[in-house]
């Protein structure tokens, strides 16, 4: 029996399996949820130690001495009061997770003089709001100008790492995605007035989704509301334009007075 086999068998008896160094494991949760990064150790024994780090921050450490283990936790504001080590396996639990907890966590396990390491990519996603569907206000046309189609607009606020999509039944029609920055997404869809299909607007990230369905009765209601609100929308636009022109006039007067004073001063 080779020395290598004996060493691996000894680790197995202790509950350890020496894994490939820097194997990245992925854990994803929604903000506010708790998550556990599994050490994949059955039980820490003897004088063994286990340590979790996040960049330069030592998040938690568990060290044994003569079979008695002590635990240390970071005082960093990101982790203080939020993390807990399992007293047998050393797995790390993060409670009430926030976006600041997203990143790579490194795990170091030391058995005697032998150290094995693993890395975990932890991602916290913001909760998804339900998308909102409405008729594009730019489609306010008179009956003589109106074509046989109109535009629906699906919007959702404050998303990141998410995709907004239109479906007809189970068929994907179009989509748009957000990066790691928190943005608002909107996606238009051109629909026939006589259309009788069922549409869905879906916002999703890798771990959750929100769906807004639109049946034919919704279409009729939205078209009617768009027709009724066209006059109001036009009046509001005119009011805003008039107000902006008034502000511009006041600023012009201020600049003129300042210019005259600077010349005569």
CA distance 207 to 263: 65
Range of the domain at 25: 3-125
164 plus 114 within the same structural domain = no
143 plus 183 within the same structural domain = yes
**Encoded tokens for 132:** 């909102």
The answer to whether the pTM exceeds 0.75 is: no
Q: Which of 79, 94, 125 is the last residue of a domain?
A: 125
Q: Would you give the distance in Å from CA 34 to the centre of its chain?
A: 15
In a domain, 240, yes or no: no
**Encoded tokens for 193:** 């007035």
In a domain, 259, yes or no: no
**How many distinct structural domains can be found in the chain?**
2
CA distance 116 to 56: 19
**Residues 108-143: b if buried by 16+ CB within 10 A, e if exposed:** ebbbeeeebbbebebbbbbebeebebebebebbeee
Per-position pLDDT tens, the chain of length 265 = 444 444 444 444 344 444 444 657 899 999 999 999 999 888 888 888 999 999 999 999 998 887 778 899 999 999 999 999 998 899 999 999 999 999 999 999 998 888 899 999 999 998 999 999 887 644 554 554 455 677 889 999 888 889 999 999 899 999 999 877 778 899 999 887 777 788 999 999 999 999 999 875 566 555 555 555 554 444 443 444 454 455 555 555 544 554 555 555 5
Q: Please report which residue ranges of the chain form alpha helices under DSSP H.
A: 3-13, 216-264
């Amino acid at each position: 029996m080779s020395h290598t086999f004996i060493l691996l068998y000894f680790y197995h008896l202790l509950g350890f399996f020496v894994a490939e160094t820097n194997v990245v494991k992925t854990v994803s949760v929604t903000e506010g949820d708790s998550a556990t990064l599994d050490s994949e150790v059955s039980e820490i024994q003897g004088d063994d130690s286990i340590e979790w780090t996040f960049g330069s921050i030592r998040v938690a450490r568990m060290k044994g001495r003569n079979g008695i283990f002590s635990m240390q936790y970071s005082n960093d504001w990101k982790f203080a009061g939020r993390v807990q080590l399992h007293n047998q396996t050393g797995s790390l639990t993060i409670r009430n997770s926030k976006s600041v907890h997203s990143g790579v966590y490194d795990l170091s396990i030391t058995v005697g003089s032998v150290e094995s390491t693993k890395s975990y990519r932890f991602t916290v996603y913001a909760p998804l709001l339900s998308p909102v569907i409405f008729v594009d206000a730019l489609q306010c046309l008179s009956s003589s100008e109106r074509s046989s189609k109109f535009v629906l607009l699906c919007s959702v606020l404050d998303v990141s790492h998410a995709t907004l999509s239109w479906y007809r039944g189970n068929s994907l029609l179009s989509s748009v995605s957000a990066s790691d920055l928190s943005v608002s997404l909107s996606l238009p869809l051109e629909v026939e007035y006589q259309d009788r299909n069922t549409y869905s607007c879906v916002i999703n990230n890798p771990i959750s989704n929100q769906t807004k369905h639109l049946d034919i009765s919704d279409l009729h209601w939205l078209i009617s509301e768009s027709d009724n609100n066209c006059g109001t929308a036009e009046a509001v636009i005119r009011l805003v334009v008039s107000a902006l022109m008034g502000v511009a006039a006041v600023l012009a007067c201020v600049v003129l007075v300042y210019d005259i004073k600077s010349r005569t001063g």
